[in-house]
Each structure stands twice: as C-alpha cells, then as structure tokens.
C-alpha cells in the first residue's frame, strides 16, 4: 500500500466520556470545572475485608441506553464503556458509522486490565464451591474485546487494536491513531481508553499500600496515595482537511507525542524517563518549553509519582515551570487506569476550547518538593494554545501527547 501524504494535520472533532463525574463530556466538564469529586463509597462489592472503602465508581451508567439487552448480557463492563463512549464521540462529531468508509475507519482502545469478571467468577467458584462460570464470560475475557465490540457494533473494518501499556494506554492509543491518520493509512479513528472497577484492581493496590483512605490529594505535602476508579474516554480523530470540508467543530489539533520506556522499576517512576517522553513530545511537535501553556499531570497522589513528575517537568521547562499551570484531574476522578490519560486528553481539548483550566482539588498544604502551580482547588480562566498530557505506567511506560488550538 502506498501513502501519498505523510504530513496530514490531525484534529479532534468528537469527545465521548463515561466517568464518575458524568456521562457525556458536557456533564463531565461541568463537574470538573466546579471542582466536584467523583469519589464515593464502593458499592460494586463488599469492602469490609479491606481497610479502604472509597473509589471513583461510575454509578449512573445505564448500558441499555447504548446497547440492546442481549448485547449488554454478552459484554463485560469495560467493553460496555468503550462502546458507549465511542458512540458518544461519534455523535459529538456529528457523524454516524454509516457515513464512515468502513475500511478507512479504525478503533484503537487502551486498557490496563481489560475484562476481569472471569477471574473474579473463578475466584468465587474456588471460594464457595457452588457457583458455575458463565460460558459468555469466556468470550468477553480477552482484552481485544474492548476494541472488537466497538468495531462490530459500528461495522468499522479498518485498523483495530488494543494497547495494554497500563495507565498510559489511552495516550498510546491517541498517539498511534495520530500516526495512522497523518501517514494516510486511515481517515477516521475512534481512540481512547477504558477500564472498569474490579476487586482485582482494588485488592492489588490495597496490597501495595498505595490507596488513600477517602480522598486523592496530588501535590499535597500530606498526600496518602491514589484512589482507584473506572470509566472510559474516546476521541474521534480525522484530518483537518476532512473536518473543514464537512464544517465540523474542531476541539484541538494533535500536534505530536513522545514515548519512553525507562524500565527503571516495576512500580516507582523515573524522573529521567518521564522527562524523556516530554522532550520527545516537544521535539516531535516542533515546539519548545516556551510554547507550553498548560500541563495535564499524571498526578496520582502518591508521594513517589508526584515528586518524580514535578522534577521531570522542572527538568524540561526550567525556569518556566513557575508560570506554567499543572493540574491533576485524578484528584476528582481517582485513577481510571487505562482510561485515565484518555479522559485527561479530553480535558485538555476542552481546556483549549473553553479557555478554563480544571483544578487540582483537595490541596491543603503544598508540598515544597513539588513547587509547581497546580491550580489549587478552583478552576482558572486562561488562554491555552498548547497543552501537554502526561501519562506514566508501571514498568516505566511513559507517554506525553501535545494538543494545540486551531
């Protein structure tokens, strides 16, 4: 296959959100800007055996609004999220799947754990010896179901992939979608991330002693850890030429991205690894530190992550760090795993479009080791022409995506 143009400009024209702060980007954005918290007491399962009881659960999601009852029964929750957010993104782009060229339209979804219901069902069987595992669960267990179900529902026959680079997966998906469109391999892509809440994740982070008791406090001196969460964010990407031709609303342009895999430590982040991803993103986008107006931080609220990320940002921006806003919406959503950087990418697009920066809530005492402008507790009006979206993951997978105002 020959590709006639490898320099196409790629833009975002549709946004789809499933989150603990709302379904659809409008509700999500309204609550982000208001500084509301999506953290609540866990209802998905009994947390009495644990010493933590709060998370960012999506409690108002009704899959029947997006899928037939039969399809709901056949899908895992993460797949339901990915289909619903994809439909919302396509609807926001003012398109139907029938209007897309099937073979020139793709789906790229990122996830940390995919569908874990099968493992949980097996655990229940081993524990109580009475249950049987549903045959349907075997078909939804593979992580590929997150993108496959979207393609099947929308009859999209182009590229179809799932990224499993843990908590940076959403950004990886957007970066790959950007490459596919820019190089002329495909015209339209639904890209993002999805993960559902589970006992497996909750147990894992509990055993790592990484979860805060009731609230996530990124950059706070007394922060106690992250909060687990769930949700999905999907963005609709196309060429600028296509968007202009159909007079579509453009939220932002994807200017470039940078990756690094520092393999520094299984769980602890690397300052150099994070900095390398940011530097590569700037270089790939042909801009410098002086052009950055806002950074959406990975900002998990753990002592190690926040300090390493702040040091990396300082390393790249130098003296400009003092005048560059850096906020973490995980303070409101919790950590939505593979969906995190996708939801944060959507927040970046809306920040550019609306001229408002979402705050870092729950800040009580700034950690002097962080020493950044984290937009504490209240949203801030600001003209943002260039926004960076940072993401990091276990194993040292880092990705930074650059968005620009058109």
Is residue 31 within 8 A of residue 22, CB to CB? The reply is: yes
Q: What's the CATH number where 131 sits?
A: 3.40.47.10
Domain end position, chosen among 224, 245, 266: 245
What average pLDDT does range 153-179 have in this prediction? Answer: 95
The average pLDDT across 109-134 equals 70
Determine, yes or no, domain membership for 331: yes
Kindly report, residue by residue over 314-360, the tens digit of the pLDDT: 999 999 999 999 999 999 999 999 999 999 999 999 999 999 999 99
What mean pLDDT is predicted for residues 225-236? 97
Q: Are residues 240 and 261 in the same domain?
A: no
pLDDT of residue 138 exceeding 90 = no
Same domain, 225 and 299: no
Structure tokens at 168: 């940076």
Is residue 167 domain-shared with residue 108, that is, in the same domain? yes
Question: What is the secondary structure of 254-304 as a DSSP string?
Answer: EEEEEEEE----SSS--HHHHHHHHHHHHHHHT--GGG--EEE----S-HH
- Please answer whether residues 252 and 352 qualify as being in contact, where contact means their C-beta atoms are separated by less than 8 angstroms: yes
Q: Which pLDDT value is given to residue 342?
A: 98
Instruction: Report the pLDDT averaged over residues 20-35.
Output: 98
Same domain, 311 and 335: yes
Mean of all residue pLDDT scores within the chain: 92
Query: Is residue 395 included in any domain, yes or no?
Result: yes
In this prediction, residue 72 carries a pLDDT of 87
Q: Are residues 235 and 313 both part of a single domain?
A: no
pTM, two decimals, is 0.94
46 with 173, same domain: the answer is yes
Q: Are residues 180 and 71 in the same domain?
A: yes
Coil vs helix vs strand at 335: strand
User: What digits encode the pLDDT tens for the residues 193-211?
Assistant: 999 988 888 998 998 899 9
Same domain, 61 and 206: yes
Q: Say yes or no: 85 and 154 in one domain.
A: yes
| Residue 273, in any domain of the structure | yes
Kindly state whether residues 52 and 160 are assigned to the same domain.
yes
Domain end (from 245, 280, 309): 245
How many independent structural domains does the chain possess?
A: 2
Are 98 and 147 in the same domain? Answer: yes
Helix axes 25-33, 340-354, angle to 10 degrees: 80
Q: What is the pLDDT of residues 52-68, one digit of tens each?
A: 999 999 999 999 999 99
Q: Is residue 3 part of a domain?
A: no
310 lies in some domain = yes
What is the predicted pLDDT for the residue at 137? 58
> Can you tell me the distance from the alpha carbon of 132 to that of 118, in angstroms, rounded to the nearest whole number?
11
Whether residue 158 sits in one domain with residue 87:
yes
Quick: pLDDT tens for 71-101.
888 888 999 999 999 999 999 999 998 899 8
Q: Final residue of a domain: which of 214, 245, 276?
A: 245
Helix axes 303-317, 271-285, angle to 10 degrees: 40
Residue 23 covered by a domain = yes
- DSSP letter at 27 equals H
Domain extent, residue 378, equals 255-404
- The answer to whether residue 4 is domain-embedded is no
Tell me if 250 is assigned to some domain.
no
Question: Known catalytic residues?
Answer: 167, 298, 335
């Amino acid at each position: 296959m020959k590709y006639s143009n490898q320099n196409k400009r790629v833009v975002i024209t549709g946004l789809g959100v499933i989150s603990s702060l709302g379904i659809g980007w409008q509700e999500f954005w309204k609550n982000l800007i208001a500084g509301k918290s999506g953290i609540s007491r866990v209802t998905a399962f009994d947390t009495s055996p644990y010493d933590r009881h709060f998370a960012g659960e999506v409690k108002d999601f009704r899959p029947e609004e997006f899928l037939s009852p039969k399809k709901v029964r056949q899908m895992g929750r993460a797949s339901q999220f990915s289909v619903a957010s994809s439909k919302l993104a396509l609807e926001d782009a003012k398109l139907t799947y029938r209007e897309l060229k099937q073979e020139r339209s793709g789906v790229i979804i990122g996830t940390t754990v995919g569908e874990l219901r099968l493992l949980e069902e097996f655990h229940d069987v081993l524990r109580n010896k009475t249950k049987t595992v549903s045959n349907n669960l075997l078909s939804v267990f593979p992580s590929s179901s997150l993108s496959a179900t979207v393609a099947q529902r929308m009859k999209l026959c182009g590229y179809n992939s799932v990224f499993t680079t843990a908590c940076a997966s959403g950004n990886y998906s957007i970066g790959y979608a950007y490459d596919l469109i820019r190089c002329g391999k495909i015209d339209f892509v639904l890209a993002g991330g999805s993960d559902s809440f589970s006992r497996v994740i909750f147990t894992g982070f509990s055993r790592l002693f990484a979860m805060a008791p009731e609230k996530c406090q990124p950059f706070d001196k007394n922060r106690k850890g992250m909060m687990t969460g769930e949700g999905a964010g999907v963005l609709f990407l196309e060429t600028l030429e296509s968007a202009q031709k159909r007079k579509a609303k453009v939220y932002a342009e994807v200017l470039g991205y940078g990756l690094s895999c520092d393999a520094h430590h299984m769980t602890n982040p690397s300052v150099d690894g994070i900095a390398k991803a940011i530097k590569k993103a700037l270089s790939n986008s042909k801009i410098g530190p002086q052009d950055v107006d806002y950074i959406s931080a990975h900002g998990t609220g753990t002592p190690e992550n926040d300090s390493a990320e702040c040091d990396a940002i300082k390393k790249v921006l130098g003296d400009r760090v003092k005048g560059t806003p850096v906020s973490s919406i995980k303070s409101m959503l919790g950590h939505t795993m593979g969906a995190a950087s996708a939801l944060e990418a959507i927040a970046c697009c809306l920040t550019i479009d609306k001229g408002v920066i979402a705050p870092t809530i729950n800040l009580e005492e700034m950690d002097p080791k962080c020493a950044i402008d984290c937009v504490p507790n209240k949203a801030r009006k600001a003209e943002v022409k260039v926004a960076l979206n940072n993401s990091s993951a276990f194993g040292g997978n880092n990705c930074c995506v650059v968005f620009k105002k058109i």
